[in-house]
Amino acid sequence: MALRKRQSLIHTLFEEEARAVGFARVAGLDEVGRGALAGPVVAAAVILDPSAPLPVGLDDSKKLTALQRERISEELRRTAVCHAYGLVGPEEIDSTNILVATRRAMLQALEKLQPCADFLLIDAIQLRESGLPHKAIIRGDSASASIAAASVLAKTYRDRLMRDYDAQFPEYGFARHVGYGTREHWAALREHGCCPIHRRSFRGVLLEEESREVES
């Protein structure tokens, strides 16, 4: 029996509602990398062109294959009004916390947008620090086209960064797990300890590092 094709629930209703009350530049905002053991947290902000068709298959980046994400990301970079990225690295994550770091990455992305946004659609996070009117939408990356677009852009950008880190630290396999806590990654941590891009404030990473120190 043939498998039924997964149906995307992505729409532009939130964007249309904002434009209907006078907002002209509605930006979607999302992050990737909050739960990783290594690497930065990356946020993307994007203003879609209302006159351009949405990329075929646009959805929450977690529901897409790497090839689908790359294709959609390339189209978004070509057709969006503008897009920008924010990045907060492991040292800053360790010195604050992951939620503060996530907000900072989002604010960085917003500050780089040209033209500037006048209304924000954000995946689940209130961002009052932006000073802009906004709507936080639970599971927004599976509903709002702008948030889904931001999730794809952030994911492809961060994945490329992690592939670059893989070349610097090949023993950890960053190109495969992009810093998340897979069995391979935990095994590499036990064998090699932390490298400069690991988040030492994350409990599991800290415990592995302490365990290695005791054994040595």
Decide if pLDDT at 154 tops 70.
yes
The structural domains of the chain, ordered by start, are 13-169 (3.30.420.10)
Decide if pLDDT at 206 tops 80.
no
pLDDT band at 2 (very low <50, low <70, confident <90, very high): very low
C-alpha to C-alpha distance for 155 and 207, rounded to whole angstroms: 28
pTM: 0.93
DSSP structure string for 61-118: GGGS-HHHHHHHHHHHHHHSSEEEEEEE-HHHHHHS-HHHHHHHHHHHHHHH-SSPPS
Measured distance between the N- and C-terminal CA atoms of the chain, rounded to whole angstroms: 56
- Look at the block and give the residue holding tokens 């907000």: 103
Tell me whether residue 49 is exposed, middle or buried, using C-beta atoms within 10 angstroms of its C-beta: 0 to 12, 13 to 18, 19 or more.
Answer: exposed
Decide if pLDDT at 8 tops 80.
no
pLDDT score, position 207: 62
